[in-house]
Amino acid sequence: MKAIFLALTALTLTAAPSAWAQRADRNVDKPIVRSFHWFDYVAANDIRKECAPGGRNRLRLIYNALWEEQVRAYEVYLQPDGTAGLDIGVLTGQGTVTTGITNMLLSDPSDIFAPWSMKRGQRLLNAGETRELTSLLDASRGFGPPPDGLRLPDNDFWWTIASCRNGVWGFQAYHYPTDGFVNVKFSAKLFSWDTVKIPVNPPRKLEPAELRRDMNAPIERARADRWMLVVGKDGLRPR
């Protein structure tokens, strides 16, 4: 299994330069390449770097519904006419990337990671829908400032919002159950526009994340790839 996984890693990295030249959201499509880009993607370093007066107005919202279960990403491209393009990406099964690989035929290497690749959808928001989304984000304090020091474990439910509007960078984060998502006013509307035919994984009551990280836990609960993001004053703190 180790030899097969290393071979697949090498195969993916061979194709990586073309992926790296694409948009940031495309750099998280494939699981191996994703491992190099995911944290920068959530931090939206690409949006922040390009955020300047006269530049593109855009948003990136990430809904982490337990990393190993589901993640939903929403790219919103705000247009001068008041409309917006909405790109949707959904990840599932991130805790089982190598499960079953040995049983798969390698006749088409481009499809080898298809089960764990991002499922995509698109939608055009009209001017009224775009105003509604912006209003809901304003009501949610979605453009910042974020709660400095908030911890976002991979095995919890949380949202992040990165934004660039009129050259102004913004960032916000919400964690469940810390704040119970009480400030999240936009999720139901955003989910209603989601065109990916994978049901949304709603937040639910769980043991504290620290207990679910217990390395002495039963094998079905123990995971070796846990990670934690920490919010700073105006974005995610560097890892």
Find tokens 């928001």 and name the residue.
Answer: 125
Is the pLDDT confidence value at 69 over 60?
A: yes
Query: How many beta carbons lie within 10 A of that of residue 76, not counting itself?
Result: 21
What is the rounded average pLDDT of the residues 177-192? 95
Instruction: Give the integer Cα–Cα distance in Å for 235 and 229.
Output: 11
Mean pLDDT, residues 26-35: 61
Tally the residues of the chain.
239
Whole-number pLDDT of residue 174: 98
d(CA 190, CA 53) in angstroms, rounded, equals: 27
Q: How many CB atoms lie within 10 A of CB 159?
A: 25
pLDDT band at 28 (very low <50, low <70, confident <90, very high): low
pLDDT confidence of residue 65:
97
**Statement: residue 164 has pLDDT above 80:** yes
Q: 167 Cβ partners below 8 Å, 6+ apart?
A: 51, 52, 53, 54, 55
What's the pLDDT at 93? 80
Can you give the pLDDT at residue 199? 97
Could you tell me which residues come within 8 angstroms of residue 128 by beta carbon, excluding any fewer than 6 positions away? none
Query: Across residues 74-83, what is the average pLDDT?
Result: 97
Q: What is the pLDDT of residues 191-233, one digit of tens each?
A: 999 999 999 999 999 988 887 765 555 555 445 468 999 999 9
> 152, 34, 163: which is closest to 89 by C-alpha?
34
Residue with tokens 């705000």, as numbered in its chain: 78
Mean pLDDT of 115-140: 93
